[in-house]
A and B are shown apart, each in its own frame.
Chain A
Amino acid sequence: MTTLATQQLVDFAYILAIALFILSLKWLSSPATARHGVLAGEIGAAVALVTTFFNPELVEFKWIFVGLLAGVIIGIPLGLVPITAVPQRTAMSHAFGALAASLIGISEYYVQTPNITKFGMIEIAMEVIIGSLSVTGSLIAAGKLQEILPQRPIVYKGQNIVSLTVLGSAVILALVLMFNPGLTILFPIMVVVSLFFGFLLVMPIGGADMPTVISLLNSYVGLSAALLGFVLNSRVLVVAGALDGSSGFILSVIMCKAMNRSFTNVLFGAFGQLQVSTEKGKEERTVRSASPEEAAQIIGSSNSVIVVPGYGMAVAQAQHKVREMFDILTKKGIDMRFAIHPVAGRMPGHMNVLLAEADIPYDKLIDMETANSEMAQTDVALIIGANDVTNPAAKTDQGSPIYGMPIIEVDKARTTMVIKRSLNPGFAGIDNPLYYMDKTLMLFGDAKAFVGDIVRELSGGGGH
Protein backbone atom coordinates (compact mmCIF):
# COMPACT_ATOMS: atom_id res chain seq x y z
CA MET A 1 0.00 0.00 0.00
CA THR A 2 1.14 3.52 -0.63
CA THR A 3 1.86 5.72 2.35
CA LEU A 4 -1.10 7.93 1.51
CA ALA A 5 -3.51 4.98 1.37
CA THR A 6 -2.15 3.68 4.68
CA GLN A 7 -2.59 7.11 6.24
CA GLN A 8 -6.22 7.19 5.11
CA LEU A 9 -6.81 3.71 6.49
CA VAL A 10 -5.37 4.81 9.83
CA ASP A 11 -7.61 7.90 9.84
CA PHE A 12 -10.74 5.88 9.10
CA ALA A 13 -9.90 3.40 11.85
CA TYR A 14 -9.47 6.27 14.32
CA ILE A 15 -12.86 7.71 13.32
CA LEU A 16 -14.40 4.28 13.93
CA ALA A 17 -12.71 4.15 17.34
CA ILE A 18 -14.11 7.56 18.28
CA ALA A 19 -17.62 6.56 17.18
CA LEU A 20 -17.35 3.50 19.42
CA PHE A 21 -16.16 5.66 22.34
CA ILE A 22 -19.21 7.88 21.96
CA LEU A 23 -21.51 4.84 21.87
CA SER A 24 -19.69 3.53 24.90
CA LEU A 25 -20.63 6.59 26.96
CA LYS A 26 -24.15 6.60 25.55
CA TRP A 27 -24.73 3.02 26.70
CA LEU A 28 -23.48 3.89 30.16
CA SER A 29 -26.67 5.92 30.69
CA SER A 30 -28.45 2.93 32.25
CA PRO A 31 -27.22 -0.12 34.19
CA ALA A 32 -29.08 -2.36 31.71
CA THR A 33 -26.90 -1.39 28.74
CA ALA A 34 -23.77 -0.25 30.56
CA ARG A 35 -21.76 -3.41 29.95
CA HIS A 36 -22.26 -3.05 26.19
CA GLY A 37 -20.67 0.34 26.69
CA VAL A 38 -17.52 -1.23 28.10
CA LEU A 39 -17.38 -3.65 25.17
CA ALA A 40 -17.78 -0.82 22.65
CA GLY A 41 -14.98 1.08 24.36
CA GLU A 42 -12.74 -1.97 24.34
CA ILE A 43 -13.32 -2.61 20.63
CA GLY A 44 -12.71 1.06 19.83
CA ALA A 45 -9.47 1.07 21.81
CA ALA A 46 -8.31 -2.18 20.20
CA VAL A 47 -9.05 -0.87 16.68
CA ALA A 48 -7.10 2.33 17.35
CA LEU A 49 -4.24 0.46 18.98
CA VAL A 50 -3.76 -2.12 16.21
CA THR A 51 -4.07 0.49 13.47
CA THR A 52 -1.35 2.61 15.06
CA PHE A 53 1.19 -0.09 14.26
CA PHE A 54 0.61 0.61 10.54
CA ASN A 55 1.94 4.12 11.04
CA PRO A 56 4.85 4.38 8.59
CA GLU A 57 6.82 6.63 10.98
CA LEU A 58 7.44 3.73 13.35
CA VAL A 59 10.95 2.35 13.04
CA GLU A 60 11.75 0.91 16.44
CA PHE A 61 9.37 -1.58 18.05
CA LYS A 62 11.30 -3.13 20.92
CA TRP A 63 10.59 -0.38 23.45
CA ILE A 64 6.95 -0.16 22.44
CA PHE A 65 6.49 -3.80 23.38
CA VAL A 66 8.41 -3.34 26.61
CA GLY A 67 6.04 -0.49 27.46
CA LEU A 68 2.94 -2.47 26.51
CA LEU A 69 4.10 -5.47 28.53
CA ALA A 70 4.76 -3.25 31.56
CA GLY A 71 1.29 -1.78 31.05
CA VAL A 72 -0.28 -5.24 31.18
CA ILE A 73 1.72 -6.18 34.28
CA ILE A 74 0.70 -3.00 36.13
CA GLY A 75 -2.79 -2.73 34.64
CA ILE A 76 -4.20 -6.13 35.52
CA PRO A 77 -3.65 -5.81 39.30
CA LEU A 78 -5.05 -2.26 39.10
CA GLY A 79 -8.15 -3.71 37.50
CA LEU A 80 -8.52 -6.38 40.16
CA VAL A 81 -8.26 -4.24 43.33
CA PRO A 82 -11.00 -4.82 45.92
CA ILE A 83 -14.05 -2.63 45.35
CA THR A 84 -13.36 -0.90 48.67
CA ALA A 85 -10.09 0.42 47.18
CA VAL A 86 -11.76 1.94 44.13
CA PRO A 87 -11.41 5.61 45.20
CA GLN A 88 -7.62 5.42 45.60
CA ARG A 89 -7.34 3.28 42.48
CA THR A 90 -9.20 5.97 40.56
CA ALA A 91 -6.82 8.63 41.86
CA MET A 92 -3.85 6.46 40.81
CA SER A 93 -5.37 6.06 37.40
CA HIS A 94 -5.70 9.86 37.09
CA ALA A 95 -2.00 10.06 37.99
CA PHE A 96 -1.06 7.52 35.31
CA GLY A 97 -3.17 9.22 32.65
CA ALA A 98 -1.61 12.59 33.50
CA LEU A 99 1.87 11.04 33.56
CA ALA A 100 1.46 9.59 30.07
CA ALA A 101 0.17 12.90 28.69
CA SER A 102 2.95 14.90 30.36
CA LEU A 103 5.74 12.59 29.22
CA ILE A 104 4.53 12.71 25.62
CA GLY A 105 4.40 16.51 25.80
CA ILE A 106 7.89 16.69 27.33
CA SER A 107 9.27 14.32 24.72
CA GLU A 108 7.62 16.31 21.91
CA TYR A 109 9.22 19.49 23.27
CA TYR A 110 12.71 18.00 23.00
CA VAL A 111 11.95 16.71 19.50
CA GLN A 112 10.74 20.09 18.24
CA THR A 113 13.20 22.33 20.06
CA PRO A 114 15.01 24.58 19.10
CA ASN A 115 12.87 25.01 15.97
CA ILE A 116 9.68 25.20 17.99
CA THR A 117 7.19 27.94 17.04
CA LYS A 118 5.85 30.37 19.62
CA PHE A 119 2.40 28.86 19.24
CA GLY A 120 3.69 25.31 19.51
CA MET A 121 5.64 26.25 22.63
CA ILE A 122 2.61 27.68 24.42
CA GLU A 123 0.52 24.62 23.51
CA ILE A 124 3.14 22.25 24.85
CA ALA A 125 3.69 24.37 27.96
CA MET A 126 -0.02 24.45 28.79
CA GLU A 127 -0.29 20.73 28.23
CA VAL A 128 2.75 19.91 30.35
CA ILE A 129 1.79 22.29 33.19
CA ILE A 130 -1.74 20.85 33.49
CA GLY A 131 -0.47 17.29 33.05
CA SER A 132 2.30 17.62 35.66
CA LEU A 133 0.17 19.26 38.33
CA SER A 134 -2.39 16.50 37.84
CA VAL A 135 0.30 13.85 38.36
CA THR A 136 1.32 15.08 41.82
CA GLY A 137 -2.20 16.23 42.72
CA SER A 138 -3.58 12.78 41.95
CA LEU A 139 -0.79 11.02 43.82
CA ILE A 140 -1.48 13.13 46.92
CA ALA A 141 -5.20 12.40 46.59
CA ALA A 142 -4.45 8.67 46.30
CA GLY A 143 -2.19 8.90 49.37
CA LYS A 144 -4.94 10.57 51.38
CA LEU A 145 -7.52 8.01 50.26
CA GLN A 146 -5.17 5.15 51.10
CA GLU A 147 -4.59 6.89 54.44
CA ILE A 148 -0.83 7.04 53.93
CA LEU A 149 -1.25 10.80 54.17
CA PRO A 150 -3.46 12.54 56.74
CA GLN A 151 -7.05 13.01 55.58
CA ARG A 152 -7.49 16.15 57.66
CA PRO A 153 -7.09 19.40 55.74
CA ILE A 154 -3.49 20.58 56.17
CA VAL A 155 -3.57 24.34 56.25
CA TYR A 156 -1.09 27.05 57.02
CA LYS A 157 -1.18 30.82 56.92
CA GLY A 158 -0.89 32.37 53.47
CA GLN A 159 -1.08 29.02 51.67
CA ASN A 160 -3.22 30.39 48.84
CA ILE A 161 -0.67 33.13 48.14
CA VAL A 162 2.14 30.57 48.13
CA SER A 163 0.21 28.20 45.83
CA LEU A 164 -0.76 30.91 43.38
CA THR A 165 2.79 32.27 43.30
CA VAL A 166 4.07 28.81 42.41
CA LEU A 167 1.49 28.43 39.63
CA GLY A 168 2.28 31.94 38.43
CA SER A 169 5.99 31.07 38.25
CA ALA A 170 5.23 28.08 36.02
CA VAL A 171 3.21 30.31 33.69
CA ILE A 172 5.95 32.96 33.62
CA LEU A 173 8.56 30.31 32.78
CA ALA A 174 6.31 29.16 29.92
CA LEU A 175 6.08 32.72 28.59
CA VAL A 176 9.84 33.22 28.83
CA LEU A 177 10.34 29.97 26.92
CA MET A 178 7.91 31.12 24.27
CA PHE A 179 9.98 34.21 23.48
CA ASN A 180 13.40 32.62 24.14
CA PRO A 181 13.22 29.07 22.80
CA GLY A 182 16.99 28.82 23.32
CA LEU A 183 16.69 28.78 27.12
CA THR A 184 15.95 25.05 27.18
CA ILE A 185 17.15 24.78 30.78
CA LEU A 186 13.94 26.55 31.87
CA PHE A 187 11.72 23.75 30.57
CA PRO A 188 12.58 21.12 33.21
CA ILE A 189 12.32 23.85 35.87
CA MET A 190 8.81 24.61 34.62
CA VAL A 191 7.93 20.91 34.92
CA VAL A 192 9.25 20.71 38.49
CA VAL A 193 7.40 23.90 39.50
CA SER A 194 4.16 22.49 38.04
CA LEU A 195 4.65 19.22 39.91
CA PHE A 196 5.16 21.22 43.09
CA PHE A 197 1.97 23.19 42.44
CA GLY A 198 -0.06 19.93 42.17
CA PHE A 199 1.29 18.95 45.58
CA LEU A 200 0.37 22.33 47.10
CA LEU A 201 -3.07 22.24 45.48
CA VAL A 202 -4.29 18.94 46.94
CA MET A 203 -2.35 18.72 50.22
CA PRO A 204 -4.61 21.19 52.10
CA ILE A 205 -7.83 19.48 50.97
CA GLY A 206 -9.61 17.25 53.48
CA GLY A 207 -11.05 13.78 53.00
CA ALA A 208 -14.65 15.01 52.92
CA ASP A 209 -13.86 17.10 49.83
CA MET A 210 -12.31 14.21 47.92
CA PRO A 211 -15.36 13.58 45.68
CA THR A 212 -14.94 17.07 44.21
CA VAL A 213 -11.15 16.92 44.01
CA ILE A 214 -11.12 13.55 42.31
CA SER A 215 -13.66 14.81 39.74
CA LEU A 216 -11.72 17.99 39.17
CA LEU A 217 -8.48 16.06 38.64
CA ASN A 218 -10.38 13.86 36.21
CA SER A 219 -11.26 16.90 34.13
CA TYR A 220 -7.63 18.15 34.23
CA VAL A 221 -6.41 14.79 32.93
CA GLY A 222 -8.97 14.95 30.11
CA LEU A 223 -7.96 18.51 29.32
CA SER A 224 -4.27 17.58 29.16
CA ALA A 225 -5.07 14.73 26.75
CA ALA A 226 -7.10 17.09 24.57
CA LEU A 227 -4.27 19.66 24.59
CA LEU A 228 -1.90 16.87 23.60
CA GLY A 229 -4.20 16.27 20.65
CA PHE A 230 -3.68 19.93 19.66
CA VAL A 231 0.10 19.58 20.01
CA LEU A 232 0.28 16.40 17.95
CA ASN A 233 -2.54 17.32 15.58
CA SER A 234 -4.39 14.18 16.58
CA ARG A 235 -8.18 14.48 16.52
CA VAL A 236 -8.69 11.17 18.25
CA LEU A 237 -6.89 12.54 21.31
CA VAL A 238 -8.83 15.79 21.11
CA VAL A 239 -12.14 13.91 21.18
CA ALA A 240 -11.16 11.39 23.88
CA GLY A 241 -9.71 14.19 26.01
CA ALA A 242 -12.79 16.38 25.54
CA LEU A 243 -15.10 13.50 26.54
CA ASP A 244 -13.02 12.69 29.62
CA GLY A 245 -12.67 16.36 30.49
CA SER A 246 -16.37 17.11 30.20
CA SER A 247 -17.17 14.05 32.31
CA GLY A 248 -14.85 15.20 35.08
CA PHE A 249 -16.21 18.72 34.80
CA ILE A 250 -19.87 17.67 35.09
CA LEU A 251 -19.10 15.43 38.06
CA SER A 252 -17.25 18.32 39.77
CA VAL A 253 -20.25 20.58 39.24
CA ILE A 254 -22.61 17.94 40.66
CA MET A 255 -20.34 17.46 43.68
CA CYS A 256 -20.03 21.20 44.32
CA LYS A 257 -23.80 21.67 44.07
CA ALA A 258 -24.31 18.79 46.48
CA MET A 259 -22.17 20.64 49.00
CA ASN A 260 -23.40 24.11 48.14
CA ARG A 261 -19.83 25.23 47.53
CA SER A 262 -17.95 26.73 44.63
CA PHE A 263 -14.81 25.36 42.95
CA THR A 264 -12.71 28.13 44.45
CA ASN A 265 -14.13 27.39 47.87
CA VAL A 266 -13.21 23.70 47.60
CA LEU A 267 -9.75 24.41 46.25
CA PHE A 268 -8.77 27.42 48.32
CA GLY A 269 -11.00 27.44 51.38
CA ALA A 270 -10.11 24.24 53.20
CA PHE A 271 -12.93 22.77 55.22
CA GLY A 272 -12.50 22.71 58.96
CA GLN A 273 -11.19 26.21 59.43
CA LEU A 274 -14.52 27.46 60.73
CA GLN A 275 -15.17 24.66 63.16
CA VAL A 276 -14.46 26.76 66.22
CA SER A 277 -17.67 28.73 65.74
CA THR A 278 -19.88 25.85 66.89
CA GLU A 279 -17.95 25.27 70.09
CA LYS A 280 -19.88 27.90 72.04
CA GLY A 281 -23.24 26.11 72.14
CA LYS A 282 -21.79 23.21 74.01
CA GLU A 283 -23.96 23.26 77.11
CA GLU A 284 -25.16 19.95 78.54
CA ARG A 285 -27.42 18.27 76.06
CA THR A 286 -28.85 14.82 76.47
CA VAL A 287 -28.91 12.06 73.92
CA ARG A 288 -31.04 8.93 73.90
CA SER A 289 -29.14 5.78 73.17
CA ALA A 290 -30.47 2.31 72.47
CA SER A 291 -29.23 -1.26 72.53
CA PRO A 292 -29.24 -3.60 69.51
CA GLU A 293 -32.30 -5.37 70.98
CA GLU A 294 -34.29 -2.15 71.22
CA ALA A 295 -33.20 -1.07 67.75
CA ALA A 296 -34.11 -4.47 66.29
CA GLN A 297 -37.53 -4.32 67.91
CA ILE A 298 -38.32 -0.92 66.41
CA ILE A 299 -36.99 -1.89 62.98
CA GLY A 300 -38.73 -5.27 63.06
CA SER A 301 -42.12 -3.73 63.80
CA SER A 302 -41.82 -0.97 61.18
CA ASN A 303 -43.14 -0.93 57.62
CA SER A 304 -40.41 1.04 55.95
CA VAL A 305 -36.74 1.73 56.59
CA ILE A 306 -34.46 4.12 54.73
CA VAL A 307 -30.76 3.58 55.30
CA VAL A 308 -28.40 6.50 54.78
CA PRO A 309 -24.89 5.12 54.23
CA GLY A 310 -21.71 7.15 54.38
CA TYR A 311 -17.94 6.79 54.36
CA GLY A 312 -18.09 5.26 57.85
CA MET A 313 -19.92 2.25 56.43
CA ALA A 314 -17.09 1.73 53.96
CA VAL A 315 -14.46 2.11 56.69
CA ALA A 316 -16.21 -0.38 58.98
CA GLN A 317 -16.84 -2.75 56.03
CA ALA A 318 -20.43 -2.98 57.25
CA GLN A 319 -22.07 -3.32 53.82
CA HIS A 320 -22.31 -7.12 53.88
CA LYS A 321 -23.97 -7.11 57.30
CA VAL A 322 -26.33 -4.47 55.95
CA ARG A 323 -27.19 -6.84 53.12
CA GLU A 324 -28.07 -9.56 55.64
CA MET A 325 -30.38 -7.09 57.33
CA PHE A 326 -31.87 -6.23 53.94
CA ASP A 327 -32.57 -9.93 53.24
CA ILE A 328 -34.29 -10.47 56.59
CA LEU A 329 -36.42 -7.32 56.34
CA THR A 330 -37.37 -8.08 52.74
CA LYS A 331 -38.51 -11.55 53.85
CA LYS A 332 -40.59 -9.97 56.59
CA GLY A 333 -42.20 -7.69 54.02
CA ILE A 334 -40.55 -4.54 55.36
CA ASP A 335 -39.51 -2.08 52.69
CA MET A 336 -35.82 -1.24 53.09
CA ARG A 337 -34.16 1.22 50.75
CA PHE A 338 -30.96 3.22 50.63
CA ALA A 339 -30.78 6.97 50.23
CA ILE A 340 -27.55 8.02 48.53
CA HIS A 341 -26.32 11.57 48.93
CA PRO A 342 -24.21 12.64 45.91
CA VAL A 343 -21.15 13.31 48.09
CA ALA A 344 -21.53 10.30 50.39
CA GLY A 345 -18.20 8.48 50.46
CA ARG A 346 -14.97 9.50 48.85
CA MET A 347 -15.85 9.69 45.16
CA PRO A 348 -18.95 10.15 42.99
CA GLY A 349 -21.09 6.99 43.13
CA HIS A 350 -18.92 5.37 45.82
CA MET A 351 -21.84 4.10 47.94
CA ASN A 352 -23.72 2.68 44.96
CA VAL A 353 -20.78 0.52 43.98
CA LEU A 354 -20.19 -0.72 47.53
CA LEU A 355 -23.85 -1.66 47.97
CA ALA A 356 -24.02 -3.26 44.53
CA GLU A 357 -21.01 -5.37 45.47
CA ALA A 358 -22.86 -6.45 48.62
CA ASP A 359 -25.64 -7.65 46.30
CA ILE A 360 -28.20 -4.95 47.07
CA PRO A 361 -30.42 -4.54 43.98
CA TYR A 362 -29.90 -1.13 42.42
CA ASP A 363 -33.64 -0.37 42.30
CA LYS A 364 -33.40 -0.13 46.11
CA LEU A 365 -30.89 2.71 45.86
CA ILE A 366 -32.69 6.05 45.73
CA ASP A 367 -31.38 9.56 45.29
CA MET A 368 -31.62 12.45 47.73
CA GLU A 369 -34.72 14.06 46.16
CA THR A 370 -36.73 10.82 46.18
CA ALA A 371 -35.65 10.06 49.73
CA ASN A 372 -36.64 13.50 50.98
CA SER A 373 -40.06 13.35 49.35
CA GLU A 374 -40.77 10.02 51.06
CA MET A 375 -39.07 10.58 54.38
CA ALA A 376 -42.18 11.80 56.21
CA GLN A 377 -43.93 8.49 55.48
CA THR A 378 -40.91 6.48 56.57
CA ASP A 379 -40.90 4.70 59.93
CA VAL A 380 -37.15 4.44 60.48
CA ALA A 381 -34.23 6.35 59.02
CA LEU A 382 -31.05 4.44 59.85
CA ILE A 383 -27.80 6.35 59.39
CA ILE A 384 -24.70 4.21 59.02
CA GLY A 385 -21.43 6.09 58.96
CA ALA A 386 -22.81 9.29 57.46
CA ASN A 387 -22.74 12.58 59.30
CA ASP A 388 -22.64 15.93 57.51
CA VAL A 389 -25.04 14.83 54.74
CA THR A 390 -27.76 14.37 57.40
CA ASN A 391 -26.97 17.42 59.53
CA PRO A 392 -30.11 19.58 59.98
CA ALA A 393 -27.85 22.54 60.81
CA ALA A 394 -27.31 22.81 57.05
CA LYS A 395 -30.91 23.99 56.81
CA THR A 396 -31.37 25.88 60.06
CA ASP A 397 -28.09 27.26 61.40
CA GLN A 398 -26.78 30.17 59.35
CA GLY A 399 -23.53 30.08 61.33
CA SER A 400 -22.78 26.50 60.35
CA PRO A 401 -19.98 26.00 57.82
CA ILE A 402 -22.26 23.64 55.88
CA TYR A 403 -25.23 26.02 55.88
CA GLY A 404 -27.08 25.72 52.56
CA MET A 405 -25.79 22.26 51.73
CA PRO A 406 -28.63 19.99 50.56
CA ILE A 407 -29.11 17.15 53.06
CA ILE A 408 -31.09 13.94 53.39
CA GLU A 409 -33.81 15.03 55.80
CA VAL A 410 -33.63 12.07 58.18
CA ASP A 411 -35.14 14.18 60.95
CA LYS A 412 -38.50 13.94 59.12
CA ALA A 413 -38.75 10.17 59.57
CA ARG A 414 -40.79 8.89 62.53
CA THR A 415 -37.70 7.52 64.24
CA THR A 416 -34.10 8.34 63.38
CA MET A 417 -31.31 5.98 64.37
CA VAL A 418 -27.64 6.83 64.09
CA ILE A 419 -24.93 4.19 64.31
CA LYS A 420 -21.80 5.96 65.47
CA ARG A 421 -18.72 5.16 67.51
CA SER A 422 -19.05 8.17 69.80
CA LEU A 423 -20.40 11.68 69.84
CA ASN A 424 -17.21 13.07 68.30
CA PRO A 425 -17.99 15.30 65.35
CA GLY A 426 -17.27 13.94 61.87
CA PHE A 427 -14.47 14.67 59.45
CA ALA A 428 -15.42 18.24 58.91
CA GLY A 429 -15.49 18.75 62.68
CA ILE A 430 -19.03 20.09 62.62
CA ASP A 431 -21.43 19.34 65.47
CA ASN A 432 -24.65 17.59 64.44
CA PRO A 433 -27.82 18.72 66.30
CA LEU A 434 -29.57 15.63 64.93
CA TYR A 435 -28.01 13.59 67.73
CA TYR A 436 -29.78 15.59 70.42
CA MET A 437 -33.27 15.44 68.96
CA ASP A 438 -36.05 13.64 70.83
CA LYS A 439 -36.82 11.25 68.00
CA THR A 440 -33.18 10.28 67.54
CA LEU A 441 -31.77 7.09 68.99
CA MET A 442 -27.99 6.86 69.10
CA LEU A 443 -26.66 3.36 68.52
CA PHE A 444 -23.11 3.55 69.87
CA GLY A 445 -20.63 1.06 68.48
CA ASP A 446 -18.78 -0.20 65.45
CA ALA A 447 -21.09 -0.14 62.43
CA LYS A 448 -20.35 -3.69 61.34
CA ALA A 449 -20.71 -5.17 64.83
CA PHE A 450 -23.85 -3.19 65.61
CA VAL A 451 -25.64 -4.08 62.40
CA GLY A 452 -24.56 -7.69 63.02
CA ASP A 453 -26.19 -7.57 66.46
CA ILE A 454 -29.40 -6.13 65.01
CA VAL A 455 -29.40 -8.89 62.39
CA ARG A 456 -29.01 -11.53 65.09
CA GLU A 457 -31.91 -10.07 67.08
CA LEU A 458 -34.11 -9.82 64.00
CA SER A 459 -33.49 -13.39 62.87
CA GLY A 460 -33.64 -14.87 66.37
CA GLY A 461 -36.48 -12.90 67.92
CA GLY A 462 -39.03 -12.66 65.15
CA GLY A 463 -39.25 -16.13 63.64
CA HIS A 464 -42.81 -15.84 62.36
Chain B
Amino acid sequence: MPAGFTESLYVFVLAGFLGFELIKRVSPLLHTPLMSLTNALDAIVVIAAIIICGRHESNLSTILGAIAVAAAFSNMIGGFLITDRMLRMFKLSGRKKQ
Protein backbone atom coordinates (compact mmCIF):
# COMPACT_ATOMS: atom_id res chain seq x y z
CA MET B 1 0.00 0.00 0.00
CA PRO B 2 1.44 3.36 -0.95
CA ALA B 3 2.41 5.96 1.64
CA GLY B 4 -0.44 8.24 2.52
CA PHE B 5 -3.24 5.81 1.74
CA THR B 6 -4.14 5.15 5.36
CA GLU B 7 -4.12 8.87 6.18
CA SER B 8 -6.38 9.55 3.21
CA LEU B 9 -8.70 6.82 4.38
CA TYR B 10 -8.83 8.35 7.88
CA VAL B 11 -9.66 11.73 6.39
CA PHE B 12 -12.25 10.21 4.04
CA VAL B 13 -14.09 8.35 6.80
CA LEU B 14 -14.11 11.36 9.14
CA ALA B 15 -15.15 13.78 6.40
CA GLY B 16 -17.88 11.38 5.29
CA PHE B 17 -19.39 11.25 8.78
CA LEU B 18 -19.00 15.01 9.21
CA GLY B 19 -20.68 15.57 5.85
CA PHE B 20 -23.52 13.29 6.87
CA GLU B 21 -24.12 15.26 10.09
CA LEU B 22 -23.88 18.62 8.34
CA ILE B 23 -26.12 17.78 5.39
CA LYS B 24 -28.75 16.17 7.61
CA ARG B 25 -29.28 19.60 9.19
CA VAL B 26 -29.77 21.43 5.91
CA SER B 27 -33.38 22.54 5.57
CA PRO B 28 -35.27 20.68 2.79
CA LEU B 29 -36.22 24.18 1.58
CA LEU B 30 -32.64 24.56 0.43
CA HIS B 31 -31.95 21.20 -1.18
CA THR B 32 -31.53 22.72 -4.65
CA PRO B 33 -29.01 25.37 -3.51
CA LEU B 34 -27.32 22.62 -1.45
CA MET B 35 -26.68 20.64 -4.59
CA SER B 36 -25.30 23.60 -6.52
CA LEU B 37 -23.14 24.65 -3.56
CA THR B 38 -21.65 21.19 -3.04
CA ASN B 39 -20.94 21.07 -6.79
CA ALA B 40 -19.10 24.38 -6.50
CA LEU B 41 -17.10 23.10 -3.51
CA ASP B 42 -16.38 19.83 -5.31
CA ALA B 43 -14.96 21.92 -8.15
CA ILE B 44 -11.91 22.35 -5.92
CA VAL B 45 -10.52 19.52 -8.08
CA VAL B 46 -9.47 22.53 -10.17
CA ILE B 47 -6.32 22.70 -8.02
CA ALA B 48 -5.37 19.18 -9.06
CA ALA B 49 -6.14 20.08 -12.67
CA ILE B 50 -3.87 23.12 -12.40
CA ILE B 51 -1.01 21.00 -11.10
CA ILE B 52 -1.50 18.31 -13.78
CA CYS B 53 -1.62 21.00 -16.46
CA GLY B 54 1.28 23.10 -15.13
CA ARG B 55 3.72 20.26 -14.39
CA HIS B 56 3.92 19.71 -18.13
CA GLU B 57 4.92 16.05 -17.99
CA SER B 58 3.71 15.54 -21.55
CA ASN B 59 1.65 17.41 -24.11
CA LEU B 60 -1.22 15.04 -23.43
CA SER B 61 -1.25 15.69 -19.69
CA THR B 62 -1.08 19.44 -20.25
CA ILE B 63 -4.01 19.42 -22.69
CA LEU B 64 -6.14 17.08 -20.57
CA GLY B 65 -5.23 19.20 -17.55
CA ALA B 66 -6.29 22.42 -19.31
CA ILE B 67 -9.67 20.92 -20.26
CA ALA B 68 -10.09 19.74 -16.67
CA VAL B 69 -9.22 23.25 -15.42
CA ALA B 70 -11.92 24.70 -17.69
CA ALA B 71 -14.56 22.13 -16.66
CA ALA B 72 -13.87 22.45 -12.94
CA PHE B 73 -13.46 26.21 -12.88
CA SER B 74 -16.69 26.78 -14.81
CA ASN B 75 -18.42 24.63 -12.19
CA MET B 76 -16.89 26.68 -9.41
CA ILE B 77 -17.85 30.06 -10.89
CA GLY B 78 -21.28 28.96 -12.10
CA GLY B 79 -22.03 27.01 -8.92
CA PHE B 80 -21.31 29.84 -6.50
CA LEU B 81 -23.10 32.32 -8.74
CA ILE B 82 -26.34 30.38 -9.06
CA THR B 83 -26.35 29.31 -5.41
CA ASP B 84 -26.17 32.92 -4.31
CA ARG B 85 -28.84 33.93 -6.81
CA MET B 86 -31.19 31.25 -5.51
CA LEU B 87 -30.55 32.03 -1.86
CA ARG B 88 -31.23 35.73 -2.39
CA MET B 89 -34.78 34.76 -3.42
CA PHE B 90 -35.67 33.14 -0.11
CA LYS B 91 -37.54 35.78 1.90
CA LEU B 92 -39.68 35.68 5.04
CA SER B 93 -43.26 37.04 5.10
CA GLY B 94 -43.50 40.79 5.37
CA ARG B 95 -40.21 41.42 3.63
CA LYS B 96 -40.53 42.35 -0.02
CA LYS B 97 -37.84 41.91 -2.62
CA GLN B 98 -35.58 44.95 -3.02
Contact = CB atoms under 8 A, between A and B. Distances in A.
A334 interface: no
B41 A79 contact: no
Interface stretch (A281-289, A352-360, A383-391, A421-429): A352-360
A80 B72 CA distance: 17
A88 to B, nearest CB: 12
Most buried by B among A24, A239, A342: A239
B50 to A, nearest CB: 5
A258 to B, nearest CB: 10
Task: Report, as a range, how many residues of chain A touch the other chain.
Answer: 35 or more
B58 A239 contact: no
A341 to B, nearest CB: 10
Contacts of B12: 226, 229-230, 238, 242
A134 B4 CA distance: 27
B83 to A, nearest CB: 5
B31 A79 contact: no
Given A60-B54, A248-B38, A363-B92, A81 B43 contact: no
A292 to B, nearest CB: 27
Interface SS, A side: helix
A64 B39 contact: no
Contacts of B49: 67, 100, 103-104
A221 B39 contact: yes
A222 B41 CA distance: 10
B93 A367 contact: no
Interface stretch (A26-34, A198-206, A442-450): A26-34
Contact of B47 (A48, A243, A365): A48
Interface string B2-28: 111101110110011011101111111
B33 A28 contact: yes
A352 B50 contact: no
Contact of B40 (A41, A73, A81): A41
30 contacts: A30-B27, A35-B88, A38-B80, A38-B83, A42-B80, A45-B41, A57-B54, A63-B65, A70-B74, A71-B75, A71-B77, A72-B77, A78-B78, A90-B35, A93-B78, A99-B68, A104-B45, A111-B61, A235-B7, A240-B41, A240-B44, A245-B19, A246-B16, A247-B38, A249-B20, A250-B23, A254-B31, A347-B31, A348-B35, A362-B92
